[in-house]
Amino acid sequence: MSQRDLLLRIVAASVTASRKAAEIVRGVLKSGDLGIVEKTGKNDLQTEADRAAQRCIVASLHKQFPKVAIFGEESLDPMEKIPDDYVTKDLDPDVMSKVCPEIYKNVTDDQIVIWVDPLDGTAEFTQGLLDHVTVLIGIAVNGEAKAGVIYQPWYNYEAGPEAEMGRCIWGLIGLGSFGFTRQVPPADKNLITTTRSHSDWIVTEAVNSCEPSEIVRVGGAGHKVLLLIEGKVHAYVFASKGCKKWDTCAPEAVLHAIGGRLTDLLGKPILYHEKVQRKNAGGVLATLYSHQWYVDKIPQEIRENFVSDTPSEEMLQLKQQQGASVAAGGDSSAASTGANWEGSSVDPPEYTQKTDEKFSSKPKI
Ligand SMILES: Nc1ncnc2c1ncn2[C@@H]1O[C@H](COP(=O)(O)O)[C@@H](O)[C@H]1OP(=O)(O)O
Ligand SMILES: [Mg+2]
Ligand SMILES: [Mg+2]
Ligand SMILES: [Mg+2]
C-alpha cells in the first residue's frame, strides 16, 4: 500500500483500537473493581479502565506505526507487559473503503502526532454516568488536528437488551465525519454545554456572558462535541485550563470535518505538535455555527486569564527584544521571568508522560 494512504490507515487502525478499548473498559466496569487513583487531586481521577484502554490503544498503534509519535493521557510504566489480546492490527474496512483526500498524499510519519485520551469523562464514569464517557484518538498533521475517533462505549446502554451497545464516530478533514446523524439545533434557542465536574466562577461567568437560553452541564470533552454535532446544543464553552491536547484533538477534527470549529476562548487555534504544552491554557470554545459571535461575547476580564498556544504579536515582539527564540506553547509568566520558552512549553511533572519515552520516536523535550 502506498505511503499516500498513511493517514487513512492510521484512522482505520484507530477505529479498530477504539472498539477494542471500549470492550476493555466495559469489562472493567463489569468486574466491579474500578481501581480508582487520585492523580493531582480528587477532581483528577484515573481508573483501571483508563489504564487498560491506554495500554491497548498505544500498543496497537505503536506496533503498526512505530515511527509515529503517540502521547497518551495516563503515565504508565513503559516496561509493563501488555497482554497479547490487547493488541489489534486490523484496519477498519469502512474507513479503508474511502479515498484518502489528495491533500494528505505527501504526509510522512514524522509530521504526525497521535493524542490518546483512553477514557474521557473519568469523573462521570466513576459516578455511573456512562453515556458521558468516550474513548478519544486524535491525529494531528503538522500541529493541526486533522482526524479523530470518538468512541462512545455505553451508547444505548439504557435502550434495552436488543439495542446495539456502543458507537464509533470518526472524521477526517476533507472527507467528512461518519457514524452519527447530523441535526440542526433549534433556531429559537441558545443551548450551551459546559463542564459538570470542573466548574468555578470563571467557567460559569463565561457561559453566562454567551447569553444561554439553557445550560447543559455534562461530562467529557468528547461527549460535549457529540452534543454539538448532533444538534443538541449550539456551543461548548469551557473557560478553564483543565482540558489537555488529548481531550480536544479528536473532537476538534470530527467537528471541523463537518464545518464546525474548536478553538481556544480567544478564537485562536489550539496546536498539537509534539512539543506544545499539554494544557489547553487558552480554554475551549466549540461551535458548528457563528463561532466569532461567541468569541466576541467573552468579556475582556475573562479573556485576560487565558493564553493561546500561538504567541501573540506583542509577545513575539517582547521576545525579540529580549533576544530569545520563541517556541509555541510558552506562557506569559515564562516570558516575564526570561525563562526558556522551549523548556516551559512542557507541563509540570505530573503531566509528563512516561509513555512518551517508549512510544515517541522523536527527540525528547
Ligand atoms: N481540572 C481538570 N483536571 C483534570 N482533567 C480535567 C479538568 N478539567 C477538564 N478535564 C478533562 O477534560 C474533560 C472535559 O472536562 P469536563 O468533563 O469537566 O467538561 C474531562 O472529562 C477531563 O478529561 P478526563 O476525564 O479524560 O481526565
Ligand atoms: Mg483524566
Ligand atoms: Mg479527557
Ligand atoms: Mg481521560
8-state DSSP, 170: E
220 lines ligand 1 (CB under 6 A): yes
**122 is annotated as an active-site residue:** yes
The answer on 167 and 26 residing in a single domain is yes
The answer on 94 and 20 residing in a single domain is yes
With cell 474496512, the residue in question is 93
Instruction: Say if 198 falls within a structural domain.
Output: yes
Instruction: Say if 322 falls within a structural domain.
Output: no
The answer on 259 and 304 residing in a single domain is yes
> From the CB of residue 212, how many other CB atoms can be counted at a distance below 10 Å?
19
**What pLDDT digit, counting tens, does each position of 36-79 carry?**
999 999 999 999 999 999 999 999 999 999 999 999 999 999 88
**Last residue of one domain, picked from the residues 178, 211, 245:** 178
Q: Phi-psi region for residue 13, left (φ > 0), alpha (ψ -120 to 50) or beta?
A: alpha
Q: List the residue whose alpha carbon is closest to atom 1 of ligand 1.
A: 242
Residue range(s) defining the domain that contains residue 280: 191-308+341-359
117 lines ligand 1 (CB under 6 A): yes
243 lines ligand 1 (CB under 6 A): yes
Q: How many separate helices (H) and strands (E) can be counted in the chain? A: 13, 13
**195 is annotated as an active-site residue:** no
**What pLDDT digit, counting tens, does each position of 134-167 carry?**
999 999 999 999 999 999 999 999 898 889 999 9
Rounded distance between C-alpha atoms, residue 314 and residue 317, angstroms: 5
Catalytic residue among 50, 117, 309, 356: 50
**What pLDDT digit, counting tens, does each position of 216-237 carry?**
999 999 999 999 999 999 999 9
Position in ligand 1 atom list of the atom nearest CA 46: 27
Catalytic residue among 16, 47, 88, 122: 122
Residues 6+ apart with CB under 8 A from 200: 240
> From the CB of residue 178, how many other CB atoms can be counted at a distance below 10 Å?
17
287 lines ligand 1 (CB under 6 A): no
Position in ligand 1 atom list of the atom nearest CA 199: 18
**What's the pTM value of the predicted model, to 2 decimals?**
0.88
Query: 220 C-alpha vs ligand 3 centroid, how far in Å?
Result: 6
Angle (CA) 313 303 117, round 5°: 95
